[in-house]
Amino acid sequence: MNINWRSGSREICFQNRTLILKSSGLSRDIDFSAGYPRTLRVKSGDDVLAVANQQPDVRIAGLYPFAEFTKPGMQPEIISCCIKEMPESDRDAVYLEMICFEKFRRIEILYRYILYDTIPAIGIEIELISGVTPLVYRGCRHYEKFNKIRDFSCCSIMDTLTLPESKPCKSLEFRMRTDYHNDLLVENCDRSDGLYCGNIFTGGQVIWLQEAPPSEERMEIFEADFLVTENVISSCGSGFTAFDIIPGQRMKSCRHTLLIGRDCGEACRKYLQRRGYGQNNSAGKVTVNPWGGGNFNTLVNEEFLLREISAAAECRADIYQIDDGFQSGGNLGDLSALNRYITPEYWQFASDRFPEGPDKVVWHAQKNGIKLSLWFAPGCNREFDDESLTVLLNWQKRYGINIFKLDGVVLDSCRAHDNFRKLLESLKSSGITVNLDVTNGLRGGVCEFGEFGPVFLENRYVNQTWVDVPYDPEATLKNLWQLSKYIPAGNIQIEVPSPQDIIEDFFGQNGRPPRPDRYDFKFWLAAAMPALPLLWFQPSKQSTKIRHDCREMMKIYRECQRLISGGDIVPVGAVPGCGITGFIGNGRICFAYRTLKADGEANIFPHHYDSRLIYSSSTSELHPDGRVILSEPGSFAIWEIKVDKKDEIL
């Protein structure tokens, strides 16, 4: 059972029960002599980043493996080792799958290692079939009453490294449910208890990225996502708990990926781009969603949508997204509040508002060059084991709709999580992209499911007094700036409401948030341009000036997209609100923003030979040494730059 395989920067060798994996300068030696993986060494070039583990790399809470094998049949045996073709979502990845079996408890475990060409990344997933249930006590009361010291028996570990020496550590925690707060990124540094929460961990050059829901929204029992004990680091959480395991049923984990790099943000962005984040039907597209204008579910009918689509085309949008309210059966409240059993008939267009069904609306959208998208809530109260796939495929087949906003998602069990992923995989194989709403519920956040479509990040209103967090262009820019350091900006939808919809008595009074129109509307639009602009209003009800400003800025957005061309977008400068801030796209385009209290000059861009001003809302300068000057508070500018003499600026 020997393997010697090489392609590009990737190598796989399995001999004498030792597995050697190499990926673009990252190498990892793993000992399987005991029937389970134990890392011997991790190197990046000549640098030794990890030495031999004393414990197994992978541990499943209450089940696998035992620390000592004292009875016949308790030592796992390797029953197969092979290289598998990658699925579409992993593009140029290759899979090495090792299957081990323990007779004593009839446990079969598949270790899947994923290697990528040209980037130093090795991912791991496991699939487990157990003949028995784990021996783990359940319940918080047990832990609180009977465990006088911290109990690790409920902790599943997906990967472990032993560093040659202790390193400063940090985890990055992405907080979603954005309906309730505006602090989307938390950094946890050098915790004395060794417990870190988040999706990303850094310790020296070692980086782990967990493709899993946000830390606050997981079903795990253990209180942390990474565990540090002296110089031993563990990436925790399999995606299923000990109490999800049913004898004979296959359990699949989430993916934990080991990355190597001195720049954590760059390593994560490049990896997620390779995973397909930002590469879908919505890439580089402008979406109109009328929900932000208010009362959409009472306005929506055939006549209203015909006007809306014409106005969306005037705004130079690409997609018009019909939100909750078109369907005959009811609205999201039927699921979220009343727990209704939904059938396919629920999702038919309401006949009293659409006497011809959606045919006339579909035809009008095609005539105006607008793609239609629909809001949809799959069956969260049936663990997504419902007719959602059939409904969506029927819409695609009959009306050509291949973009859907998925809302009302609740991943409150392992089965729900697995079924939801299967739904997404089936949709993707049929050419359908989803917008993944992360504003509420138990959902995948920004680090999971991004290969299936962009994240619908926030609901931010200027016309609703009940909201906890209203729209503010400065805060919105800050959220994008912070997230885009680690997550490809092209996979994040950033909303732009209309200043015309502002409720006058809500903003600017004592105890009230600041008025968003202290910034010009074009600044609102420009703040979304490094990402995916989401026009969060009803275009048919806007003034000629609002639609004209949209048209002008979205024309510039398309020029920027041509220069970015799917490349990397890097945040630079100060955190918005503290100084001039900006983004660099594909090394060819620079976005600069001056918030109201920021100084007018900063050195934030790279040295370059030449530049061309694409647009500026005030007098602005960009010097070859990277120094930018914006003359007016609350202004912005965009340049194309030439970083090499052979480059050409059109």
168-207 pLDDT, tens per residue? Answer: 999 999 999 999 999 999 999 999 999 999 999 999 999 9
pLDDT of residue 647: 62
Alpha carbons 106 and 607: distance in angstroms, whole number: 62
In this predicted structure, what is the pLDDT of residue 612?
96
The answer to whether the CB of 302 falls within 8 A of the CB of 354 is yes
Residue stretches of the chain with pLDDT short of 70: 66-70, 88-89, 137-153, 645-650
pTM listed for this prediction: 0.95
Which pairs count as long-range contacts for 31-39, CB under 8 Å and 24+ apart, including other chains?
32/78, 32/98, 32/100, 34/65, 34/69, 34/75, 34/76, 35/65, 35/75, 35/76, 35/77, 35/78, 35/100, 35/102, 36/64, 36/65, 36/76, 36/100, 36/109, 37/98, 37/111, 39/160, 39/161, 39/162
pLDDT value, residue 70: 62
Q: Are 611 and 592 in contact (CB under 8 A)?
A: no
CA gap 650, 637 in Å, rounded: 18
Cβ–Cβ contacts within 10 Å for residue 446, how many?
A: 25
111 contacts 78 by C-beta, under 8 angstroms: no
Per-residue CA distances from 42 to 45, 53, 112, 258, 348 (Å)? 10, 11, 18, 10, 55
What is the pLDDT at residue 152? Answer: 62
The 8 Å CB, 24+ separation contacts for 250-253 are 250/127, 250/128, 250/129, 251/127, 251/128, 251/129, 251/130, 251/414, 252/125, 252/126, 252/127, 252/418, 253/125, 253/126, 253/127, 253/128, 253/158
Provide φ and ψ at 188, rounded to 5°: -110, 115
The Cβ-side half-sphere exposure at 465, using a 13 Å CA radius, reads 6
Q: What angle do CA 496, 273, 637 make, to 5 degrees?
A: 40
Query: What are the φ/ψ torsions at residue 401 (nearest 5 degrees)?
Result: -85, 120
Looking at residue 148, its pLDDT comes to 45
pLDDT in tens, 457-475: 999 999 998 898 999 999 9
Q: State the pairing for strand pair 601-603/627-630.
A: antiparallel
Q: In this structure, are residues 406 and 435 in contact, taking their beta carbons and an 8 Å threshold?
A: yes
Nearest Cα to Cα of residue 482 among 458, 460, 459: 458
Q: What angle do CA 380, 391, 309 make, to 5 degrees?
A: 105
Q: What is the dihedral of CA 221, 225, 230, 231, to 10 degrees?
A: 140
- Do the beta carbons of residue 469 and residue 181 sit within 8 Å? yes
Residue whose tokens read 């992923």: 421
Q: At what angle do helices 302-314 and 544-564 cross, to 10 degrees?
A: 60
Q: Which residue has the tokens 């609002």?
A: 546
Task: Tell me how far apart the alpha carbons of residues 592 and 4 are, in angstroms, rounded to a whole number.
Answer: 50
d(CA 433, CA 452): 6
Angstrom distance (rounded) from CA 22 to CA 9:
7
Question: What dihedral angle (degrees, nearest 10) is formed by the CA atoms of 381, 384, 388, 393?
Answer: 170
